[in-house]
Amino acid sequence: MPIRLATRAVIVHENRLLLVNAFPGDESDLWCAPGGGAEPGASLPDNLVREVHEETGLTIAVGPPCLVNEFHNPDDGFHQVDLFFRCTIRDGRLRADWQDPEAVVHRRRFFTREEMTGIRFKPDSLPHVAFGRGFGYDPLEVLVQP
């Protein structure tokens, strides 16, 4: 099975990080940065702009990479590498009535660093990278179950 490549946005707005939950209803409490699988023939930033808009309704500007995370599922061989980019909001706002056209993301919200201590999220280094200025690498980890 080939390695899947995905892009993710680190969007800190008014000292809060945007996270999404891609599980319907209350199926899971796991949050992550918005983004998704890269499509062939489009640049990584173009893929990320598309994914973030689909999931949040926001238009973003993509900045430099800031984190690489990879995970796998040893049961079926699934392996994904996520490339995180620092991004800023160019247009739009979060709306309660926004519908992800692919029906993947069901909740989206901004979290302060303090609020992140009370939620489950991946990857583990996300707050450090988001609220700091460094570059991070989270080595291969086992896929977290919802």
CA distance 146 to 30: 6
**Is a pLDDT exceeding 90 seen at residue 23?**
no
CATH number (domain holding residue 85): 3.90.79.10
Supply the range of the domain harboring residue 103. Answer: 4-142
* Cβ atoms 11, 60 nearer than 8 A: yes
Number of domains in the chain: 1
6 beta partners: 37, 82
Average pLDDT over the chain, rounded to an integer: 93
Encode pLDDT of 75-125 as tens digits: 999 999 999 999 999 999 999 889 889 888 989 999 999 999 999 999 999
pTM of the model: 0.93
∠ CA 16-56-10 to the nearest 5 degrees?
Answer: 40
